[in-house]
Amino acid sequence: MPSNAILEQKKQIVADLAEQIRNSASGVIVNYQGITVEKDTELRKALREAGVKYMVVKNTLTGRSCDECGYGDLKAHLNGMTAIAISEKDPIAPAKILKEYDEKIPSFQILAGYVDGKTLDADGVKELASIPSKEVLVAKFLGSIQSPLYKFAYAVKAVAEKLEAPAEEAAAPAAEAEAPAEA
């Protein structure tokens, strides 16, 4: 039977992981079996640069943490060599980065995830990864707003130029009549 110190240590790990999951925007669980050290280092670097925490935690401890946070459905996916990637701010970042590795490495596999209080299966996580980033969506939205405004401004300018043109044409013959003719 494990000692009280070990049990307390495990309880602390569960509590810490549950707190991270509660405070996160999203998370993804993967099976990292078969990934090389080189690819794993690249993966961890990409996740770290995106502000995503990537951890290998025992499946039982991850399962208990998920239970505490209301993501008990994820326990069914905690088999084999699993890791969890958690993002506090960007809900798409973990899915997007891990999807790249899921496609590159045959043995690396997205298992499940969560976002906005809902659990996702592997297909749901991959679908989440296909959503453009917030910055791209904002830029597209602003572009769609600007386009009609520009068209309106050009139309107003064209109308103004048409209204000015008859006045200029009327003034041009009068100016020619006043100018002395050169011989």
pLDDT tens for 127-151 read 988 887 777 778 888 877 777 777 8
* Strands 118-121 and 109-115, bridge-based pairing: antiparallel
Q: What is the reported pLDDT for 151?
A: 80
What digits encode the pLDDT tens for the residues 85-116?
999 998 999 999 999 999 999 889 999 999 98
CB 52, CB 130: distance < 8 Å: no
Answer yes or no: pTM beyond 0.75: no
In this model, does residue 183 exceed pLDDT 70? no
Measure the CA–CA gap between 78 and 81, rounded to whole angstroms.
8
